[in-house]
Amino acid sequence: MLPLAGQLLFFLLVIGTGNTLPSLRAPPRGCYVAEEAGDRTFRCSQAGLSAVPTGIPNDTRKLYLDANRLASVPAGAFEHLPVLEELDLSHNILAHLSGAAFQGLAGTLRHLDLSANQLASVPLEAFVGLQIQVNLSANPWSCDCALQEVLRQVRLAPGTGTGIVCGPGARPDLVGQEFLTLAGEEELCGVGRGGVRRSTDVALLVIMGGWLVLVGTYLAYYMWQNRDETRCPLKHAPMRQVRCEDSSTLSTMV
């Protein structure tokens, strides 16, 4: 009877928690679960991780994976965390983010720390739909159109903007410059991604303008060529073949 009673108690707990249970898998070595300001927190700081760990409780609101050896974040890495609000990925060796890295977090994630990594560029798709405050400082940014578009999508954490600096992969004249200052002076999406549409729109406007000029010139030339005919409306009358010169002479005689 005891095993049966234990199973019954387990199912009652499941029903009482809305069919949502934290993961029962033991956390990786160096990770632990804590309650911080009433929020379920999962800390894996300095745990020597090379991949996003499994076994993170699905009721986690704050997740710290900082100071590890994470090189990439795959698609859907956190989609099993439906209430995650804060994610710290700082001080890793991240060089690649999947366009779906934060899939499933659009309604909950508020703070994201990607500082002190090896990111040269990030896909805009990774941030679409997220209402987040993000730290992008201390990365070797290539200072391209993609980064400019990302900054139009997100809000920077206070005081971190000056830390977004162009790295070795940027244009030689941009290396070492602060990106926010640069972006305020130069439109980096003039060519390539995001800029193709702008360039195409400009080209269409130029072509349309050229056609309008040509049509206007032709109309002006046509009217100039036919100005004598407008002065002599009877020239083409079928019954009276009178030239303009004859009409002028007759008028003088009269």
Closest CA to 34 of 15, 60, 5: 60
Res. 208 pLDDT band, cuts 50 70 90: confident
> Which has more pLDDT, 99 or 16?
99
With b for 16 or more beta-carbon neighbours within 10 A and e for fewer, the 203-215 pattern comes to eeeeeeeeeeeee
Partnered with residue 64 across adjacent β-strands are 43, 88
Res. 6 pLDDT band, cuts 50 70 90: very low
Res. 17 pLDDT band, cuts 50 70 90: very low
Per-residue pLDDT for 8 more than 90? no
Q: What pLDDT does 204 receive?
A: 61
Q: What pLDDT does 207 receive?
A: 75
d(CA 254, CA 251): 5
Taking residues 143-149, report their average pLDDT.
Answer: 92
Res. 168 pLDDT band, cuts 50 70 90: very high
Q: What pLDDT does 217 receive?
A: 81
pLDDT (tens digit per residue) in 101-137: 999 999 999 999 999 999 999 999 999 999 999 999 9
Per-residue pLDDT for 67 more than 50? yes
Average pLDDT taken over every residue of the chain: 80
Report residue 159 as tokens: 């005081």
Per-residue pLDDT for 1 more than 60? no
Res. 147 pLDDT band, cuts 50 70 90: very high
Strands 86-88 and 111-113: parallel
Q: What pLDDT does 60 receive?
A: 97
Contact 1, 19 (CB under 8 A): no
Identity of the highest mean pLDDT range in 29-33, 192-196, 246-250: 29-33
> Which has more pLDDT, 228 or 222?
222
